[in-house]
Structure 1
Amino acid sequence: MKADISVNETLRELERITEAQRRIITIIAQDVRNPLASIVSLFQLYQHNGIDPDRFNNFLHVSSTQLHSTMALLENLVLWGNIQLQPQHPDPELICLKDVVDGVFTELTVQASMKENRLINQTSQLVKLCMDENILRFILRNLLTNANKFTEKGRVTVDGFNYEKKVIFRVTDTGVGMPVRMCERLFLSKEKYSCRGTQNEWGSGLGLILIKEFVEQANGSITVQSTEGQGSSFIIELPL
């Protein structure tokens, strides 16, 4: 009986890893290959005198922005892939939310300063979470990167607190905001909803879908509140 249970668990784990590998390949094929292919095509046109230098310089600026965004997507994909290929049930860690936020802020300091945005951590030192720190960092890194993407000369704030038997934390920005229709469709996996940032930064919309998966796996929820021209707030609730 125990042998049968062990075999079934092994098969389930292999299926989970195979599915994760399949998704990684799909993401590389769609969200990484396409922008890189367009940049390669641009240089091929230039090498064969298929585009004049002035137009090439204009396209080169756009391609540079696209390349930075693709690199960010690759970093995200590597982090997500590492998490997916870990054992399914690692020992949970009791971690301080404020400390993790500070760590992610440090990583994003240069990006925020380039857009003259202030990063503000208003999370209580008392807020603790029992979860994989890599998953929490993935969630925060994506939400904060998005907030910075759509904000310029403004503020990006994280606050967290305990409420009843939950930990609630919010990532709020003073950026461009979103229409109601976009908020309603933001987390739909079949139609990744993305638009350009304040400096024409490109994005795939993939990060939010992966965040939703992680949050739901932890028996939590994620919602968004937004007003066009005033900013957005992403609220995550997790079991205490």
Structure 2
Amino acid sequence: FNSSDITELEEKIQSRDKFFSVIAHDLRSPFTAILGYSEYMASYYENLTREEIHDFSNNMYKASKSVFKLLEDLLKWTRIQSGKITLDKEVFSLLPLLDKIVDMFETSAESKKIRLIYNPPEEKIMIDADKEMISSVFRNLISNGIKFTEANGFIKIDIQLGNGFVIVSVIDNGIGIDKVTLSRLFKVGERVTRYGTNDEEGSGLGLILSKEFIWKNGGDIWVESQVGEGSTFYVKLPLAD
């Protein structure tokens, strides 16, 4: 080992410890909710109304989903860091993939009265990338858009072709992101827990994974945002040869 190897190893360990710290903190809230509701139901079950049981069960379900998502993100991140996630690249058409993802979120967008706007170009856009990684990134971005956009708002997916690359923009007119949070969004170990317009909790871990996935596929990801005006996330990917 030379000094640069040691420095790199120390940075990886520090990055890992920060990430685990964020995960541990964000797991505490949903676990506390699950324990609290389950303990109350076990102790006072005979006195609870059907409506109360339904509400408690629903809250436990939401907390369990939050735990599952955090653990899923943790597993993906540790696999990336250990090199166990390998690129499974293939040449595929980007637009059908985006079509499926937009369809996937129609129901959740409608439930918040949010319009999903997607008018793809007519030409084929072929990229050489890991399809599951790219799909994961756009699922995360659209899900975040819905989470942080008020009722009667919109999310627009825009596509721009350049010389050898494509830029997909996910645009919303939601609550926006303040400058401090904006500077931390893609950084490991920076706590960026935010609450959506219906109090949905977001840890920001999905964006960290999205950055890793896009970089591994030779692309880039960045964001522009104004508080109260909305956000635009840009994903730049190289076109297939």
TM-based fold match above 0.5:
yes
Partner of 1:232: 231
3-state DSSP of counterpart to 1:219: coil
Q: How does 1:1-240 map to 2 (within 5 A)?
A: 31-32=26-27, 35-48=30-43, 60=56, 63=60, 65-73=62-70, 80=76, 88-90=86-88, 92-124=89-121, 125-151=123-149, 152-240=151-239
Unaligned runs of 5+ in 2: 1-12
Tell me how far apart the structure 2 counterparts of residues 150 and 99 of structure 1 sit (CA, whole Å).
26
How high is the TM-score relative to the length of structure 1? 0.74
Partner of 2:6: none
By relative contact order (CA 8 Å, sep 6+), the higher-ranking structure is 2
Q: Percent identity?
A: 31
| 8 A contact 1:127–1:161 mirrored in 2 | no
| 8 A contact 2:222–2:235 mirrored in 1 | yes
Aligned letter for 1:199?
N
Relative to structure 1, the CA distance from residue 172 to residue 42 in structure 2 (aligned partners, 3 Å threshold; closer, same or farther) is same
Q: Deviations over 1:139-172 (max 9, x none)?
A: 0000010000011321111112221222211111
Relative to structure 1, the CA distance from residue 73 to residue 100 in structure 2 (aligned partners, 3 Å threshold; closer, same or farther) is farther
| 8 A contact 1:69–1:201 mirrored in 2 | no
| Higher deviation after alignment, 176-185 or 67-76 | 67-76
Unaligned runs of 5+ in 1: 1-18
Could you tell me how far 1:77 is from its partner in structure 2?
6.5
Tell me how far apart the structure 1 counterparts of residues 86 and 110 of structure 2 sit (CA, whole Å).
37
Tell me how far apart the structure 2 counterparts of residues 42 and 87 of structure 1 sit (CA, whole Å).
37
Tell me how far apart the structure 2 counterparts of residues 136 and 93 of structure 1 sit (CA, whole Å).
11
Could you tell me how far 1:230 is from its partner in structure 2?
1.4
Tell me how far apart the structure 1 counterparts of residues 93 and 111 of structure 2 sit (CA, whole Å).
28
Q: Deviations over 1:157-209 (max 9, x none)?
A: 11122212222111111111111121111111111312111101112211000
Could you tell me how far 1:53 is from its partner in structure 2?
6.9
Could you tell me how far 1:42 is from its partner in structure 2?
3.1
Tell me how far apart the structure 1 counterparts of residues 70 and 108 of structure 2 sit (CA, whole Å).
15
Q: Deviations over 1:24-80 (max 9, x none)?
A: xx598665575235312332145346xx979x88x94755543444455566667x4
Partner of 1:12: none
| 8 A contact 1:65–1:201 mirrored in 2 | no
Tell me how far apart the structure 2 counterparts of residues 102 and 74 of structure 1 sit (CA, whole Å).
28
Tell me how far apart the structure 2 counterparts of residues 191 and 233 of structure 1 sit (CA, whole Å).
21
Aligned letter for 2:225?
S
Tell me how far apart the structure 1 counterparts of residues 138 and 208 of structure 2 sit (CA, whole Å).
14
3-state DSSP of counterpart to 1:225: strand
Tell me how far apart the structure 1 counterparts of residues 128 and 160 of structure 2 sit (CA, whole Å).
14
| 8 A contact 1:158–1:172 mirrored in 2 | yes
Relative to structure 1, the CA distance from residue 73 to residue 157 in structure 2 (aligned partners, 3 Å threshold; closer, same or farther) is farther
3-state DSSP of counterpart to 2:152: coil
